[in-house]
């Protein structure tokens, strides 16, 4: 037992000497690494604080723009939204750009549609939101040339697209507006066949199918 205790003490003393030598040799490196970690954590905390402050500022400016819009001050609302969109964080910038496009639509549908076109063409905008912009632009243009909006809508009508229900409804309406009841019927049939079609759209579908069944209105001289 005494012999084992002796060897254990020798081993512990050896380890202490080794640790002391390592510290003496690399203490500067350890201190530098510790400072880097502290600086990194501090920088991360500061970045989080800056982002939170930017988001809060953008939120307040966005709400101010909405209040101007509700008060009927459309021009002032547009300017406020444009200013916010320039330097807001990504999420608020995207929200603001969509709201600005909607605001433009109060005065001029084509101006709003072009704003949505810009969103749809912007590679920095997530794909789902690019598709929403395409949908909104088509909605604004459907009363002009209903056949012209179909290419953009058809890509949104795919079974996996989250906007397919609205896209199919607009495609069916484009057929009705153009007097092409075959096109209208084809898209309304797809709405009926989709098990995930929202209930509200199914209720509107009853009206659409009744219009299609009635056929074109015959005019008499």
Which among 184, 181, 190, 186 is positioned nearest to 218, based on CA atoms?
A: 181
Q: Can you read off the two tokens belonging to residue 141?
A: 């243009």
The 10 Å Cβ neighbour count of residue 20 is 10
CA–CA distances in Å: residue 45 to residues 42, 53, 116, 126: 5, 12, 36, 27
What's the start-to-end Cα distance of the chain, in Å?
123
Q: How many residues are given for the chain?
A: 221
Identify the pLDDT of residue 200. 95
What secondary structure letter does DSSP report for 89? Answer: -
CA distance 205 to 131: 23
Residue range 89-137, pLDDT digits in tens: 767 888 888 888 888 888 889 999 999 999 999 999 999 999 999 999 9
d(CA 77, CA 103): 8
Residues of the chain by 3-state class (helix, strand, coil), percent to 5: 80, 0, 20
For residue 174, count CB atoms less than 10 angstroms from its CB and return exposed for 0-12, middle for 13-18, buried for 19 or more.
buried
- Quote the strand ranges of the chain, DSSP E: none
pTM: 0.70
Can you tell me whether residue 159 is helix, strand or coil?
A: coil
How large is the angle between the packed helices 90-104 and 74-87, nearest 10 degrees? 150
Beta strands in 75-218 (DSSP E): none
Q: Which domains does the chain have, with CATH numbers?
A: 27-214 (1.25.40)
160: its two tokens? 């996996």
pLDDT in single tens digits along all 221 residues of the chain: 555 554 455 466 556 666 666 666 666 666 667 666 766 666 656 545 555 666 667 677 777 777 877 777 778 877 877 777 777 776 788 888 888 888 888 888 999 999 999 999 999 999 999 999 999 999 999 988 899 999 999 999 999 999 999 999 999 999 999 999 999 999 999 999 999 999 999 999 999 999 988 766 554 44
């Amino acid at each position: 037992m005494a012999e084992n205790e002796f060897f254990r003490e020798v081993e512990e003393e050896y380890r202490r000497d080794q640790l002391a030598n390592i510290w003496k040799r690399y203490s500067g490196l350890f201190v530098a690494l510790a400072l880097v970690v502290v600086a990194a954590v501090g920088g991360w905390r500061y970045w989080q604080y800056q982002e939170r402050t930017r988001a809060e500022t953008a939120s307040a400016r966005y709400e101010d723009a909405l209040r101007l819009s509700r008060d009927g001050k459309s021009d002032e609302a547009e300017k406020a939204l444009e200013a916010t969109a320039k330097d807001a964080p990504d999420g608020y910038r995207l929200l603001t750009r969509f709201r600005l496009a909607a605001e433009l639509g109060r005065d001029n549908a084509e101006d709003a549609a072009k704003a949505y076109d810009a969103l749809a063409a912007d590679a920095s905008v997530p794909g789902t939101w690019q598709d929403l912009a395409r949908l909104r632009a088509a909605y604004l243009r459907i009363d002009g040339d209903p056949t012209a909006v179909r290419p953009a809508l058809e890509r949104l009508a795919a079974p996996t697209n989250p906007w397919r229900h609205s896209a199919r409804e607009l495609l069916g309406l484009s057929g009705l507006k153009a007097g092409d009841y075959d096109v209208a019927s084809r898209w309304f049939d797809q709405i009926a066949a989709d098990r995930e079609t929202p209930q509200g759209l199914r209720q509107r579908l009853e009206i659409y199918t009744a219009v299609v069944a009635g056929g074109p209105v015959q005019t008499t001289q």
